[in-house]
Amino acid sequence: MTDRLRDKVAIVTGGAAGIGQATAQVFAEEGAKVVVADINEKAGSETVSEIESHGGRAIFIPTEISHENEVNHVCREAVKTFGRLDILVNNAAAFILKDLGASQADWERSVSVNIVGTALMSKYASEIMKEHGGGSIVNVGSISAFISQPSFTTYSATKAAVVQMTRNMAMDLASAKIRVNCVSPGTVLTKTSNFHMGHLGMTLEEFMESEAPKHLLGRVGHPREVAYAILFLASDEASFITGANLMVDGGYTVQ
């Protein structure tokens, strides 16, 4: 365990699996006290147990980020348990892949989680950060905000919004010494990839063969590779960076 986030308190939404879980683990390894916020209680509790088994400190709070009362609760519980709040990672997302045939319910779920949920978490977390002299917010975008993909309209639209929200939030919160940045991953192998595979009608082997060549590095990413980018932006090492979007995509978008 090192100390890049020593004495820091962080909330990671969607922290029970994938990139969120890897981020929670990396943050704990770097000395942060971590609040794992997720709708999956079993996986969230398991993530906390894993962190604690390696000497870290973490709690799990079940949170549906599209519900304002639960957002307010998780932010207040972070302060109640650990005394402050320094970092927010907006990772939770609804992975709904639909074209214009999407139902109103599909759109409402995508927007309420990916856009409104991100805004609500940032609102309540930043109010607390202001009380403690500043902080850092890292949003998780996607290459889907920058490229065209078949039947991705619902997801891509919301991730494009997250990237733009990052810029606006950075401007609005700069005077409070709160930095706001974004990472946009390429294809990363997580449990969510199963949805993508099912959407494409592919096996894991077919999916890997299809996705790997799209990245200059010739492979898909792993959750920890994104987590380390989030760690950098969240840490004081990125103290002069705000309003930025970091592509963590193995070169996908430069081709």
Active site residues: 155
Query: How buried is 47 (Cβ within 10 angstroms: 0-12 exposed, 13-18 middle, 19+ buried)?
Result: buried
φ/ψ region of 133 (left if φ > 0, alpha if ψ in -120 to 50, else beta) reads left
Distance CA 158, CA 150 (A): 15
151 conformational bin, left if phi > 0, alpha if psi -120 to 50, beta if neither: left
C-alpha dist (Å) from residue 127 to 9, 131, 233:
15, 7, 20
Cα–Cα distance, 210 to 28 (Å, whole number): 34
| Cα–Cα distance for residue pair 230/220, rounded to 1 Å | 18
Write the DSSP symbol of residue 246: E
Give the amino acid at 62.
P
Report the C-alpha gap between 142 and 210 in whole angstroms: 18
Pairing status of strand 57-62 against strand 245-248: unpaired
